[in-house]
Amino acid sequence: MTHTLILKKPLAFFDLETTGIDPMKDRIVEISIAKALPNGEVVIKTQRINPTIPIPIESSLIHGIYDEDIKDEPLFKTVARSMAQFLDGCDLGGYNCNRFDIPLLVEEFLRANVDFDLKNRRLIDVQRIFHMMEPRTLKAAYKFYCGKELINAHSAEADTLATFEVLESMVVRYDGAVVADEKGNEVVIGNDVDILNKLMLNNNVDLRGHMVYNKDGKEVVNFGKHKGTLVVDVLQKEPSFYDWILKSEFPLDTKRKLTEIKLRMFNKR
């Protein structure tokens, strides 16, 4: 398989099939990655995973993977380092990936003690562009943009490759179209990941948005009684806030980002 996207570095499209929809509690049962290289080549890697917890029947009925199917597959922690190496230096792409797949994948890496860093990675969520232009499902998007029926929907590889094809059709269809990003700035759609990245809503400090950047680019709390308050101010005035976050059921990624801010404050003393 080849592609026509203009890439400065690899763009890894991926899709997860999981035990459920909670990035904090649920686990991966299958991951498929289609890594598009700047030379036009696409490398595909698909792996089933033993999630170590039962797959609810409601989830199995969607993706067709049952406990018996994955009982002999490797644990995520077994393949985590090789998976991280495969994704090293890649931007990430997917369908609804910014809200679900990326947060869950990062949690799995952190549980496996693999520091999967998102810094300097562009995150291209095809659903974001699709909902801007043609609000529908992936199956409808594939039919609309590619003129094909999506066979084996909800298998990780089929969904991954369909998402990839949809994006390529999108950039051809909307090349030169002017849209407004979340801040109201005009963006001209083009066949370039840098341009597509500008369409993504991404002012989160942590992946779940418990902390966000304000208009001045500073981290603020985005929930509870401290919502809208600078994180550094909360940590200074209420030191117990940090311990509460670390001891409560917040995502590991949120705890990591808060720790980075706390360490930055300490180093400035």
Distance in Å from the first CA to the final CA of the chain: 53
- Binning the chain into helix, strand and coil, the percentages to the nearest 5 are 40, 20, 40
Give me the half-sphere count of Cα atoms (radius 13 Å) on the Cβ side of residue 135.
1
CA distance 266 to 163: 43
When pLDDT is averaged across residues 152-158 and rounded to a whole number, the result is 89
**Assigned CATH topology for domain 11-197:** Nucleotidyltransferase; domain 5 (3.30.420)
208-232 per-position pLDDT tens digit: 999 999 989 999 999 999 999 999 9
Q: Is the pLDDT of residue 251 over 90?
A: yes
Q: Is the pLDDT of residue 184 over 70?
A: no
50-100 per-position pLDDT tens digit: 999 999 999 999 899 999 999 999 999 999 999 999 999 999 999 999 999
pLDDT for residue 266:
82
6-33 per-position pLDDT tens digit: 999 999 999 999 999 998 899 999 999 9
Q: Is the pLDDT of residue 203 over 90?
A: no
C-beta of residue 232 within 8 angstroms of C-beta of residue 219: yes
107-138 per-position pLDDT tens digit: 999 999 999 999 999 999 999 998 888 757 89
Q: Is the pLDDT of residue 202 over 80?
A: no
Query: Could you tell me the pTM of the whole model?
Result: 0.75
**How sure is the predictor about 183, in pLDDT bands with cuts at 50, 70 and 90?**
low
Domain boundaries of the chain, sorted by first residue: 11-197, 211-268
**How sure is the predictor about 169, in pLDDT bands with cuts at 50, 70 and 90?**
very high
Write the Ramachandran bin of 154: left for phi over 0, alpha for psi from -120 to 50, otherwise beta: left
Write the Ramachandran bin of 40: left for phi over 0, alpha for psi from -120 to 50, otherwise beta: left
Diameter of the chain measured on Cα atoms: 60
CA nearest to 128, candidates 105, 164, 99? 99
What are the counts of helices (DSSP H) followed by strands (DSSP E) for the chain? 11, 9
Q: Is the pLDDT of residue 106 over 90?
A: yes
E-strand ranges in 166-207 read 178-180, 186-188
**How sure is the predictor about 255, in pLDDT bands with cuts at 50, 70 and 90?**
very high
> Would you call 6 helix, strand, or coil by DSSP?
strand
